[in-house]
């Protein structure tokens, strides 16, 4: 996974790469934040930012979208992929949490 992101974010390393289950909001569903309980997300920490990619191959929210509406920045060069890499900053993630709480 780190090699995919490293093409666009050179500081991405294997040592800072993890697969997390049921903890982070899926970057493919930023309009309606959800946490995948079984498939999770791939996460790479670079400095204070997290680069996140959904690991669920059936998660198709962004795959069929003609315009990507995001809170967090999609990493340039990955938007056309089925599951693009997204940069979660502290501020962006707080917005996702707020959206999820309003939905409950």
* 7-49 pLDDT, tens digit each: 999 999 999 999 999 899 988 888 888 888 888 899 999 999 9
Establish if 102 belongs to a structural domain: no
Report the domain count for the chain: 1
Establish if 32 belongs to a structural domain: yes
**Enclosing domain of residue 41:** 2-95
Establish if 104 belongs to a structural domain: no
Establish if 100 belongs to a structural domain: no
- Contacts of residues 76-82 at CB distance under 8 Å and 24 or more positions apart, as own/partner, are 76/8, 77/7, 77/8, 78/5, 78/8, 82/57
User: Angle 16-93-34 (CA atoms, 0-180°, nearest 5)?
Assistant: 95
* 41-78 pLDDT, tens digit each: 999 999 999 999 998 877 765 544 444 456 888 899 98
Establish if 56 belongs to a structural domain: yes
Establish if 91 belongs to a structural domain: yes
């Amino acid at each position: 996974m780190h090699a995919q992101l490293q093409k666009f974010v050179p500081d991405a390393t294997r040592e800072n790469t993890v697969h997390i289950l049921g903890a982070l909001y899926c970057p493919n569903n930023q309009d309606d934040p959800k946490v995948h309980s079984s498939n999770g997300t791939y996460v790479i920490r670079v400095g204070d930012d997290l680069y996140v990619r959904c690991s669920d191959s059936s998660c198709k929210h962004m795959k069929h979208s003609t315009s990507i509406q995001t809170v967090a920045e999609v990493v340039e060069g990955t938007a056309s992929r089925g599951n693009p890499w997204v940069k979660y900053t502290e501020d962006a993630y707080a917005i996702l949490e707020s959206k999820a709480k309003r939905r409950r």
